[in-house]
Structure formats: structure tokens, C-alpha cells
Chains A and B, each alone.
Chain A
Amino acid sequence: MQDDLKTEQLARVNIYALVSRILMSEVDETLLNLIITDENILSFFPSFEKWDKRKNMSNKDLIEKQLNVDFTNLFLLHLIPYESFYLREDQQMETGGDNPVQALYSNFDFIVELDKARVMSADHIGIELEFMHMLCESEFKALQDGEDKIAGEIAEIQYNFLKEHLLEWAPMFLLNVKSEAGTALYFDAADLALEFMLSDFEYLTALKENGYNYPKGDA
């Protein structure tokens, strides 16, 4: 696999993983430590990097008194991080098996462990982003195995999933998060997720227009 392609794919795998994790569940000390100590990750959180409270509070206090409180406000109490809420006329959440996103996962034999995720349904922002992460990882493996055709098929699934699902609603939700966030971390996380998705859709669109022909080069 060409180096640039490898970098691109790895970045996609990792960033989808990162944003899905942050937007799905409360931050724990392991994750917070990773964000703070990994300068590449921290660079995606410019406001958080400069945030007084981050510098002045212990990680435990930061999590318990700031970040988790904000998470609760943003994801559990005041905003509704579910696709069905944004896309259904009646603004109701579809929590059962008739959820179209759940059905889509099922088509690929994927099951969401909702109890592990601690979310109400499979069209949660964090779940959809983790789905993208998994697809990217599968695509990456296919590319590593030289299965460009399979990789292309997976990329097309990604394109469609972004177009038909995530981009239909997540930008609205993430702009709301930016507007309502009480901590720099969630402001930045929403910004990152939004920017990255839009950028990634451009990338996938270009790939699609190119007939899913990946650049060739040295392995």
C-alpha cells in the first residue's frame, strides 16, 4: 500500500475511533490521559489545550466536576444524539428493531451491544461513528491484503452511510453541541467530528468519482 494511502487510512481509522469514543460515553482517566499526553491528539483540541480548568484541576476532578457533568447535559439531558430524533417527522427516537440504522447493521451481521454502549438505540452519534471506524478498519485491512476491490466496496458503503445517515443529521447535532458545550473538550470534540466528517466525505466522493481506484505505489 502506498505510504500516503496508508497514512490516510490509518488516520481515518484512528480519528473515527477517537470521536466515536468521546461522543459515546463519559471520559475516563485513561482516555483523558491519552488526550492530554498525545500531542497529536491534543492538537485536535485547541481550546481544551489552552483551557484554564484543564491546567488547574486534577484529572479526577476535571472528569467528575466538569467533563462528565457536561457530557450528561449534552448527551443525556438536553440534546438528543440520535439520528431518528433528527430525521423522523415526529421527532421520536426509534429504539427498537425497526430502526433503519439497526437494520443496516444487521444486514452486515453487526450487532450493537447497546448495554455496553449505554445508549438507547443503534443510531446514536457515537455508534454511527464507531461503525465508520469499523468500516475504515476493514477497508484498511483489505488494502493491506491487496484486496483493493473489496476495499473499494467497503469505501462505497462508507460513502453511502455518510451521505444517507451521518451527514443528514450529525452536523445539526454537532453544531448544537458546540453551541451548548460547557467545556472546551466537548466544544472541540464536536468541532473535530464535524470538520472531519465533512472532509472525509470530500475524500470519499473523490474516491468514488475515481471509480474507487486507490493510488498505486510502493508497498
Chain B
Amino acid sequence: MYLQSRRTFLKGAAFSVAGVAIARGVFSTDAIAQSVTESKFTNTPDNIAFYPEHKDWDNFQELDGTDWKRGGIGRHGVKSAENPNGIEVNNFMLVPTVCSNCEAGCGLTAWVNKDTMTVRKYMGNPLHTGSRGRNCAKGYAVTSQMYDPDRIPFPLKRAPGSKRGEGKWVRVTWDEAMSEIGKKMHDTLKVGDEMSKKLMMYHVGRPNENGFGHRVPHTMGIDGFNSHTNICSAGARQGSIQWANDDRNSPDWGNADLIFLQSSHAADAGHYFQQSAGLIADARKRGAKMVVLDPRMSNSAGMADLWIPAWPGTETALYLYLANRVLNEKDKNGENFVAHDFVKEWLNWDRLMDNKDYLQKMVGYGYISKMPTGDTYEDFIKLAQELYAPYTKEFVVKECKLEGMEHKLDALWEMYIDAGDKIATYLWRSGPIANRGGWMITRAGFLTLALRGALRGDIGGTSWHHWHELSVAGKGDKATVAGEAAPKVDVWNEIAWPPEFPLSTYEMSHIMPHLLMDDAWQEKWIAKGLNVPRKLAVWFPRMYNPVWINPDGFRWIEALKDEKRIEMSFNLSPTWSETNWYCDYILPTGLSGERNDQQSTPSKPEQRIEFRQAVLRVAAEKMGWKAKNPARATLEAHMKYGLGEIWEETEFWANIMVHHIDPDGSLGIRKFWASKKDPSRAVTVPEYFDAALSLLPRLKETAQRMYKNDEFPVYSYLRDHGAWTEKTNVYKPQEEELEFDGETYIAEGKKYSKEQVVKDKFGTLWIEADGIKKSIGIEINGKLHEGFHTLSKKLEFFSEWFAEWKWPEYAIPIYPRNESEYKKMEHVVTHIHHSMMKAPNEFALNTVFRLPYNIHTRSVNSKHLMEISQNHNPVWIYTKDAEKLGIKRGDAIRVNITDTVSELESGYFVAMAVPTEATRPGVLACSHHAGRWKLKDSVNIPGFEHALGIMGVGAPRYEMTNDGKVGTLKPVAGIKPRHDVWQFKEYNKDLDNIWWDGLSGSWQNAVAPSHPDPIAGNHAWNHKVIIEKAKAGDKIGDIVVNYENNMKIFQAWRDKLTRPLAVGDTLRRPQHIGRPAVPLSNKAYAVEIKA
């Protein structure tokens, strides 16, 4: 009605109610002015990133935040005995800590009110050079996690006589729990044979610390670590390992000219969101371009210079297309676009050209037409030109299904070339984890960077995380009686690392229950001579919730309920979770401000650590409080200051090891956890971390200077500052000179005499230690360099070891060049390839994108995060696809998951469809990070007056059925207003105002079968799905799962696609890539497979 005549508005005079009655009436004139000239408080902070100076952190006064809305002190003055209506003043101590809600590890400060000894708020830590005083929503939400009304207040034990999953619990003390658990672990280890070292599994969710968790099984001498990584990011890591024997790359976002994101991860929600996003924003402000390659238009894609929605899993083709153009096109000077100086020196083309057998294989595969005529660099370039020539624009348009978007490829090429070697990327989840063969996406992606010199790790380019990260959390040995690290572990656990997956990037965690329940598989490998565990004596996850977040949740439930397969289980868990429901003990542990961890995140080219600490303990100790037992100070502080019987792993493990698992030292474990200072007790947090952190020389020197009178100066420094940057501007680290004085080489702190070192014809320097050949550096053009972490010390375009380990056809970046090669090269073709979609209602389901405000299990009951995320996980469907199928916004649809390897059906979930242009045609999107559930609203604990609420603001209540074959879940009730808060009332006054009858999404993970990638081992998260409109009686949130089929699907992937260890193999896995958690001995690696 734009520009109505004034006359129209005159109807306003005839309202039936006068304006004064309609208006809210928020103005008043009865100001109680009070002079504030004497006050030190100002009305408004100077800027939003306001932090007091560090010298004031121990004692800082600030007006109460809730009173600002009353108008500041200008209205009511400062509260005092004479002025009770004034604004309250908080006497704060700022205690630095680190957020634990995601892997980014952003700095936090806990603002502890010294009068009440409560944390009033969490803000950032300006001393943390990665997060720079900033946090995302999850950081600020830590307060609501800490004072969660449903926080588990004390250890719980499954009620005697009840079955797992019945939901009957009794209260126990930490000492009772430690005594019972410790005895079971002691008795298991006491047997002392090989099997006894395979029967316990420490299953760690997102660790957010650097090495302490590994120390737990390591010191027990067991191969018993399992991680979440194979459902997280292992696909990408596989590609990084092949290129650089490094776990992941590490970009210099802030100085890049092109921000290249495959998926939205770094800028939207994932590794290392907030820190990366800030640096990316800095770069873009400076003029950097941003490209997002993602089938879904994420927040990042929406604001990028270019969004390329390639079909998921086909991105390899796009990268090889860029490689083709770099190699075969000419610039204005008639030269191709290869950064020859870098490629010639730092890629292992020389080993490829020297390996005639392999070159012959390449001819056989049809990769090249004939053997190269020579083995020079120029011959290599010619070979590469031929190798990648098939990946033309026409090919990539068809393969990535970019018809009509050809212009985007031209735009990409221009941005990519214009940026030179200043291209920053972080190839991580999304494609590499979601698709079979996704690791090859990383192989191909890094090729494009390498060819342009962007992998040199120079300013604005991309390097490797090893150089930007400091891991010392597992190295506090000097504070213990042992004084040194535990020896390598001598056994190999087939449940963690089965023989079908020798090259798996991480432990095969997502098929742990499947392997435990697969008798035929166990018997097969026992017959072949392996000592395969057939049960676990103790399974103990830490902040991990596999029942919900792993694929095939009903299989997890089956395994966890089976007391013969898993004899005892306990979860070190800060929140209620679906997994807790099926454990024997729930041991409530701390969140961001309640733990003691060293973390280090490679978010920029520097070496930095952050120190997470139990802030109430620290505040109390700085105010003079002393724990009765210094080795349990955190637990004591939490109990004394009203948080509850909340503990954390550093003190827990030290205590249970010293007093329960190995009380008399007979197992050889106690010495690694008993205090050197007082061997009668466990090591303390200050003792342990002072020893560990003292391994950083600059930190040690600074701390000893600043805290010269302290017993633990390095600990004191981190206690007060929360973060430390050991080194900045870490660029081109592979070019660092290898120390050699004519007689002795020094590599990674170790000395080697020149007689020990052998130089091969490629310039690589080798030593032999413990029966293993190891490279220590490389000579290039007469100069000695430390080199990359690979055996060749160069970036490995050609992964020689990978070829030897049964996969020669994929030992270079490669992808099928036509349809006839799809089947032959199926290991690197996504299982949701567009050629597999036959009918209009068949789609690829893109599940791998994080919601920026949720982080798997631990944020489940943060009321603020859940409030903004509830009902935010619909199924995105391209508008025209929806039109064809008659699907409208808000319609409930059944999403049937089907497997393209076994052709079996898994069942379906019902979700809400949202037609949108923000997902590409043929590809649905529905994040697998939502869909929490609970079976009861609360539990009553005998002898405790209050019912314990279960995820009361985080998960709707469902009904479940499962009979061993088919499982169902149906939503029953949403979140209701709460009037029953009995703990942390001050923080939860608004619970009566929180309700929602919608869901947080469907539990699609349970429908999903495990898809173990045959090489990288990771679960390939995407699915082929067939959609249909919901049927009568269906409700959004319903799931029906044929988990008997899911077992067969997993078996099909395992048995049809892998190349297992076989007769003649002598090693479990290449030793130079190692195992990620616990160091294993040669004995553990050795294997003999019987016919």
C-alpha cells in the first residue's frame, strides 16, 4: 500500500480503543537521580570486547549485568546499605579457562563472583592469540551448561537387579564407584596375558585436549583406545597422511588471497570455527576472495564470492580438472601454470619416475599411454600432463553435475590463478568423510595446491598442523614416581583395528559393537591365527554418546545391553545422554570451566597452547582455600561451592590408578600416576601440568622469571593467563635447516652420528633404530632441510607405501575418467553417485554439516543453544524436485535409506521437508547432528529428595521398541515449562518460559547403517535415499529401522570392498604412519596370518 493518501490514516482516529491503552507505556518521569560522580563505574564500556587489564583480573568490580536494563547507575546509583535499590556490584575474579564445546578451544574467562563463589558469566580470553577475546554462541552458553538444571549431581550406578536400559539408578560416591570399577580393571589386568590387554576400551568423544587421554591406556599397557574420529574427519586425514604423513592441513587464513572452502566448515561451524571465521573475515576485508564448494548453500556459501554445488563425492573430478588446466594451459608468456620451483624441489616425483614397476602399472591401468622416455623433472611434467588431460571442463561439468554452471568453473579458475600461492584451505569433513573414497578428494585437492606452490606453507598459503600445534598433555611424567614415559604397548586389539582395515586412519570405533557381536567374523580370524577378543571386560567412554551420534544406534544398544559382550561399562559424562542410559555407571565430569586440560589448536601459523582449568578450584585456591586432599582438589572444590559431585579426568584417573587399579604397584601402573613429591598419593594437577608444560622452553623461561617464588611456576603462569604462544610466524617449516656440525646430525631433538646416517640417491637421510628405517631429513641442492614428515621427506604425490599395501591403482591422485571405470575404481567413487539415482524420488542425502549452535552430545541441555536450535533440522529439498513430487514446505516425508553396495533397505525416518534453492537438484540435506531423545523425563533416586530431570530442555520424550531385528522410535512429548527446578535456581528462573512441542530433528543416525570406507575406515555418512510422503499415522520424528539389515550392510562393505591382511603379510599396518593414540611395539605390529 505504498504511499497511501494521508486520508487513509485518519481512520486511526476511530480506533475502538484509545492509543494510550494500546501503547506499552514504557516511559516514566519519576527518575530517582543519584549522583554518581564518585563512582568509578561508567555507563557504557568503551567497546564490546571490553576486558579489564590483566593485573585487575583477581579483583575486578563490575555492575551487575541484569541491572543494566534498569538504566545503569544513572538511575539508581550503586547498591549499598544506604541505597538498597541501587545497582549491585559484583566482586569478580576472572579465571581463564578454555571452551570445551568444540575442538577450536577458544579462550574463556570465568567471571567468578567471589562473594557467592559462583560463575556469573563466561567471556572470552583476550590473551588467547587464536580466539582474540571472542567466542561463538557456544562459548557464551557455557554458563547455562555449568548450571544446567538437569546436571547429574553425583555418580549414579545401575540399580542392583535391574537390566541395562531399565532406567533404575542408585546413588554412589566417587570412592565406591572407583573401588568397584578399579577392582574389575585390576582383576582383568592381573591375568597378565595378551588377551588381558585387549579387554578394556577407553572410548573418547571429542577430546579437546592433547594427549592426556592417550596416556590412560598407554600406562596400563593396553591397546584400548578408541576415538570418535572415524565418524568425524578420518577421511580427510587419510589424504593428508598420504601426502604429508600429517594428520591434517593448517591454513594461514588471515593472509590468504583465496579462501577455498570445501563445505562451510571453517567459516560456519567446524574446525576451528570462530577463530578461523574471524581470520577469514580479516582476509576478506583485505580483499581476499572466498569460494565454497558444497552441495548445500551454507551461511558461508551464501556470502562467498562463488558457490559451486558439485554433486557430493565427485569433488575429486573438479580438483583434477584444475590440475589439468594448471599443467596443460599456457599463460601469456607461453608457460604453464605450475610452480616449478616448489614442485621440483618438494614433491616426490623423482621416486615415481624411478619406480619403473609402478610406471608400468600406470600404463597397464591406462593412466598413461606409454612408459616415460626419461626420468627427469621435465619427463614427470609430461607424464602429469597426460595423466590429467582427460579431466576436461566437459568432463567435470558432467561428473559433478554442474550443467548450466559452466561459468562458475571459469570464475573459479580465475580466482584460483589470481591468488598464486596464497590459497588457504582446510579440507576436512563434508566430502572426505561423507563418501566412499572421500579421502581421494583430499588427495586431489592438495594436488591443486601443490602444483601452485600453495602447499609450501608460506604466508597466506597452506601448511600442516604438526607445525602449528603443541601436544604435551600426556607428558607430565616427570611429576610422577616413574619419571619417564611408559614403554610401548605390546599387543594389537582387533576390535579397535580389525585386519580388514590396516590403513584405517583411526580406530574403527563405529563398528565396535558390530565386531563384538559378529561371532563368525571373530572365529574366522581366530582360525587365521589372531587372538581376537570376544568380549570387553570394561568399556568406558569419555564424553561420548555413540548410541545417538554413531550410525546404527540400535546395534549399539544391543551390544551395550549384552552383559556377556560388555561386562562392565561406565561413562565419564557431563550430561545425561542416550548412551548413559545403557551403562552401569554414570560418572559426572566437568565441562569447560570444570576440567584440567592442555589443548592446542592449529588455527593459524603459530604454536600456541591453551589451558583449561577448574575455575572454582582455582578461584578458591587463590583466595586461600586448601583442599583436604590436594590430589582431589577439583572434586572437593566443586562439592564445597555447590556445583555437585562433579569431577574431571586428570584427577580421576590419577586417583583410580594409584588407589584402586594398581594399589600395590604390582601391575607396574601405579608409578606412572603416583606423585613424585608424595608417592603415597596421586599426582596433583599443578604437579602434573607444571611438568608437562615445562617442556615448552620459552614458556618455561618466561614463567620462571615471572613466578620465581612459586613451587610450580609454569602451572602458575597458565593458571593466571590461560594461554601461551610459544612461537609465531611458523612458515615454510619443512625448509628449516637440519642441524649438522660435520659430525653429528640433530633431528627432532635426537643426535645421530654421521656414521649412522645414510643418504639415498634422492637426497633423503636415513637412520635405523629399533629395527626400523626412519628418515631424518633431506638434502636438496646441497642444503640440508628437516623436510616434511613423510618417509621421503617430500610431499608424496606418489604414495609408494600405499601402493605396496595392496592399493597401487590409487597411489597417485586419480579418479575414473568415464562411466566404464566407475565399477573398476569403485573404492574412490561415492556410494551415492548420481549414476545410482534411477527414479525421480531417489536422492543423495547430505548429512554432514554442523549446526553452528550445537556440538554433538555435550550441548544437549544448554537452554540457550537448544532454544535457538529446536526444530531447525528439516530435510532441505531443491524447489523443483519438491514440485515434481508434490512436496510442499512443512510436509512430513519418509526418508528411506537404502544401500548401494548390498542393495538392502535400512528403514526410514520421518522429517519435515523444506523446499529451497539452497541445496542442489537431486541432493537432500539434513544434518545428522540433531534428533536427541530420551525415554523418561526424570528418574527417582532412592534416598534423594529430588527427581533428577533428564535433558529437560534438550530432548523430547520418545517411545522405543526393539526386538533384536527391528527398532522404532516415536515422539511422545515435547519440552514443557518447568516448575521443578531444585538446583541452580538463580540461573534457571526462565524455565517456566521454555517449551516447544516440536522436535530437534529425527534420529536419522539410528537408521543409517555403518559404511566403513574400505581404505580410510571412516563411516561414509551420506546415503542414497528414496523419499515418499508420510503415511497415515506417521509423525515427524518417527523412525523405523531394520537393524538386522544394517548388520548385513556393514558386513557387505567390510567383506566386498576391503583388501584384508593375508598370508605372507608380516605387519598389521605401516609402522611409519603409526597408530594415533598409543605407541605400539614392533611385537604388536608383527603379524602372521594362517591360510
Contact = CB atoms under 8 A, between A and B. Distances in A.
Interface string B593-618: 00000000000000000000000000
Given A111-B28, A126-B24, A15 B43 contact: no
B12 A114 contact: no
Interface of B: 1-4, 6, 9-20, 22-31, 42-45, 47-48, 68-72, 74-75, 868
A215 interface: no
Interface in A101-116: 105, 109-116
Contacts of B45: 96
Q: Which of A14, A105, A115 has the most CB of B within 10 A?
A: A14
A68 B26 CA distance: 20
A94 interface: yes
A133 B19 contact: yes
A80 B75 CA distance: 25
Nearest to A47: B1
A52 to B, nearest CB: 13
Contacts of B17: 34, 38
A31 B48 CA distance: 36
A25 B24 contact: yes
Contacts of A83: none
Nearest to B69: A114
A153 interface: no
Contacts of B12: 10-12, 14-15, 18, 40, 44
A98 B47 CA distance: 12
Nearest to A117: B26
A134 interface: yes
A165 B247 CA distance: 55
Contact of B10 (A8, A98, A127): A8
Contacts of A11: 9-13
Given A11-B10, A92-B48, A34 B22 contact: yes
A137 B13 contact: no
B443 to A, nearest CB: 40
B21 to A, nearest CB: 8
Contact of B30 (A7, A111, A120, A134): A111
B20 A137 contact: yes
Contact of A17 (B19, B71, B72, B868): B19
A77 interface: yes
A196 interface: yes
7 contacts: A11-B12, A14-B13, A14-B15, A18-B22, A96-B45, A105-B27, A199-B4
A181 interface: no
In order of increasing CB-CB distance, the 10 nearest A-B pairs are: A96-B44, A17-B19, A97-B43, A11-B12, A10-B13, A14-B19, A17-B23, A15-B12, A11-B13, A114-B69
Contacts of A77: 868
B9 A15 contact: yes
A75 to B, nearest CB: 13
Contacts of A145: none
Contact of A21 (B4, B14, B23, B44): B23
A143 interface: no
B19 A116 contact: no
Contacts of A14: 12-13, 15, 18-19, 22
Contacts of B13: 6-11, 14
A188 B3 CA distance: 14
Contacts of B4: 195, 199
A191 interface: yes
A120 B19 contact: no
A92 B45 CA distance: 12
Contacts of A130: 23-27
B433 to A, nearest CB: 30
Contacts of A195: 1-4
Chain A facing B: main interface SS: helix
A43 interface: yes
B40 to A, nearest CB: 15
Contact of A111 (B1, B22, B47, B71): B71
B9 A98 contact: no
Contacts of A9: 13
A99 B69 CA distance: 13
A97 B74 contact: yes
Nearest to B72: A97
Question: Interface size for chain A: under 10, 10 to 19, 20 to 34, or 35 or more residues?
Answer: 35 or more
Interface in A30-50: 31, 34, 37-38, 40-41, 43-44, 46
A37 B16 CA distance: 9
B999 to A, nearest CB: 14
Contact of A202 (B6, B10, B28): B6
Given A14-B18, A77-B868, A95-B68, A133 B9 contact: no
Contacts of B14: 40
A195 B8 CA distance: 11
B187 to A, nearest CB: 55
A24 B25 CA distance: 11
Contact of A120 (B9, B69, B71): B69
Nearest to B16: A38
- Which among A21, A92, A111, A113 has the highest number of chain B CB atoms within 10 Å? A111
A51 interface: no
Contacts of A24: 24, 26
A34 B21 CA distance: 11
A20 B44 CA distance: 26
Contacts of A20: 23-24
A34 B24 contact: no
A159 interface: no
A195 B1 CA distance: 8
Interface string A194-219: 01101110110000000000000000
- Central interface residue in B11, B23, B70, by most chain A CB within 10 Å: B23
A16 interface: yes
Contacts of A17: 19-20, 22-23
Contacts of B3: 195, 198-199
Contacts of A162: none
A194 B321 CA distance: 52
A131 interface: yes
A67 interface: no
A13 interface: yes
Contacts of B75: 111
Contacts of B20: 13, 17, 137
Contacts of B1: 46, 191, 195
A42 to B, nearest CB: 10
Contacts of A191: 1-2
Given A40-B12, A199-B9, 16 more contacts: A7-B13, A8-B13, A13-B19, A14-B19, A15-B12, A21-B24, A40-B11, A97-B71, A99-B44, A111-B75, A112-B27, A115-B70, A127-B26, A133-B23, A191-B1, A199-B4
B71 A114 contact: yes
A200 B9 CA distance: 9
A96 B68 contact: yes
Contacts of A43: 11
A11 B8 CA distance: 10
A15 B15 CA distance: 9
Contacts of A112: 26-27, 71
B994 to A, nearest CB: 13
Contacts of A13: 18-20
Interface in A151-168: none
A41 B30 contact: no
Contacts of A120: 69
B22 A109 contact: no
A17 B19 CA distance: 5
A95 B9 CA distance: 33
Most buried by A among B9, B24, B75: B24
Interface string A51-91: 00000000000000000000000000100000000000000
Contacts of B30: 111
A204 B98 CA distance: 56
A44 B15 CA distance: 11
Nearest to A136: B19
A81 to B, nearest CB: 14
